[in-house]
Structure 1
Amino acid sequence: MLKEGLDYSTERIVEKSNLAVTMGSGDLQVLATPALVAAMENAAMLAVADALDPTDTTVGGHIDMKHLRPTPLGEKFTAYAKVVRVEGKKIEYSLIAEDGKGVIGEGTHTRFVVNREKFMSRL
């Protein structure tokens, strides 16, 4: 059952594939903002996955995130997502990400519950 308080954390290591210089979002060898966003979205998706019918999933609708500090190659970081509001098929989350030195990102995210088959049939 979808409800406020559901949460999940995703742990990652900054690898070459998710550096700003590799992803093209910058020219430094630090965690790329798009990679941080992806980790946060992953945590949000997984926070509610077990509460959904197997025929359903969630899709991202909006994210508002601040990337506060750089994280170097090889450093571990964790993205946390917590459900703060459920309104029908709309789920709102609070997001935070940390590395060994503290908070590196924070924000909010909105996802929507969709039927997998019905959603894919719209392609």
Structure 2
Amino acid sequence: MLEVGLVHTSTLVVDEKSTALAMGSGDMEVLATPVMMALMENAAMLAVAGRLPEGSTTVGGHIESSHLHPSKVGTVVTATAVLEKIEGRKLYFHVEARQGEMVIGEGTHLRFMVDRERFLSKL
């Protein structure tokens, strides 16, 4: 059962494929903002995955985050998502990325709970 306070932390080691240069979002070999935000989404998805009704999943609807500090190749980055509010199918998270003790990004993320088969049938 879903409840406010569910939390998950996902981890990534920055490699050449996760840099701004490789992603095309910048021209330096530092963690790409889209990769950091994907890690935040992953943490939110996993925070609730084990508590969803049979046949359900979540999909991202909106994410907003700062990206405050660069992370070089080899750096371990974590993203933590905390479920803060539930409104029907809408799940609202606080998300935060860290490099050690330093916050490198922080924001909010909205996910929608959907029936997997019905969602895919609309493609």
Q: So what's the TM-score if we normalise by structure 2?
A: 0.98
Q: Partner letter of residue 108 of structure 2?
A: T
Partner of 1:29: 29
Shift of 1:3: 1.0
State how 1:1-123 maps to structure 2 within 5 Å. Answer: 1-100=1-100, 102-123=102-123
Identity of aligned residues (%): 50
Deviation at 1:101, TM superposition (A): 5.3
Q: How many residues align?
A: 123
Q: Provide the alpha-carbon RMSD of the alignment.
A: 0.7
Shift of 1:54: 3.1
Q: Give SS of 2:9's match.
A: strand
Q: Secondary structure of 1:67's match?
A: coil
State TM-score, norm by structure 1: 0.98
Residue 40 of structure 1 aligns to which amino acid in structure 2?
A: M
Cα drift, residue 73 of structure 1:
0.4
SS of corresponding position for 1:21: helix
- Aligned partner of residue 53 in structure 1, secondary structure: coil
Gaps of 5+ in 2: none
Cα distance in 1 for partners of 2:108, 2:41 equals 10
Partner deviation per Cα, 1:34-91 (whole Å, 9 max, x = no partner): 0001000000000000000230000000111111110000000100000000011100
Look up the equivalent residue of 2:120 and give its one-letter code.
Answer: M
